[in-house]
Amino acid sequence: MANSITFLGTGTSSGVPLIGCGCPVCLSEDVRDKRLRTSAYLQYEGLRLIIDAGPDYRQQMISAGISNPDAILLTHAHMDHIGGLDDVRSFNYLQRKAFPIYCENAVEEVLRKVFYYAFNEPKYPGAPDFEMHGIKAGVPFSIHGVEILPVRVFHGKMPIIGFRFGSLAYLTDVSHIDEASFELLKGVNLLVVSTVSYKKHHSHFSVSEALEAIEKLAPRQAFITHVSHRVGTYTEFSSQLPEGVFVAFDGLNVEF
């Protein structure tokens, strides 16, 4: 079976439409302008992986018909990437075991605060059951023998993780990539990278910064995610991008 990525959510932290906003993007009737919080589902070398589990996680699992994933990988501990983790309870129930979560220690520390009830001993019956696996930037790890490379990127001042799966790299909430990480990302054919606006932002690539990173890595195809209403509608934003660079949208599936 081919490797593929399905974009489960491609919206910035507030999602699109933004609650209460009456701008043309938020009022657009194009389904590609309805963006849940950023998350992806990967089928990679026989693994079924979820990247990030924000507040729309439950809806995303149901819409994509995901029934038996192997693990959730977390990029960082902002709420739009972890807020839905309580709902791994469904997989605990169906799989009758703790659910594997892969993240850096700093992310686990936040999970222990936000989801304190899942870590309490003795365990409250029905609380989510997380099987925590620590990962380190730049150090490959394996799930069922399949290797994945966590790559250090920066989200403002915060060090976070992007992931490389063979020829695919997935980088969300990134505002800086240092040279050592560019080296680790060399040769990717498919690059997923985030942006939120044309204007410079303290913790996210602007559109031009995202395009610079794409140009530097020169993948065959690049997809933009974590999109906000500030970049225009899907159609408007798409028309501004160079050849080979596409705006991702919820439900899009791409083979790699």
Q: Which residues make up the interface to Zn ion (CB under 5 A)?
A: 13, 18, 21, 23, 26, 78, 80, 173, 229
* Residue placing its CB nearer to Zn ion in the complex, 79 or 218: 79
* Residue placing its CB nearer to Zn ion in the complex, 81 or 164: 81
* Residue placing its CB nearer to Zn ion in the complex, 23 or 146: 23
Q: Which residue shows structure tokens 């963006």? A: 35
In angstroms, the CA 74 to CA 80 distance is 11
In angstroms, the CA 126 to CA 122 distance is 12
Work out how close the CB of 44 gets to Zn ion at its nearest, in angstroms, rounded to a whole number: 22
* Residue placing its CB nearer to Zn ion in the complex, 34 or 229: 229
Work out how close the CB of 174 gets to Zn ion at its nearest, in angstroms, rounded to a whole number: 9
Work out how close the CB of 237 gets to Zn ion at its nearest, in angstroms, rounded to a whole number: 13
Work out how close the CB of 28 gets to Zn ion at its nearest, in angstroms, rounded to a whole number: 9
* Residue placing its CB nearer to Zn ion in the complex, 92 or 233: 233
Work out how close the CB of 234 gets to Zn ion at its nearest, in angstroms, rounded to a whole number: 13
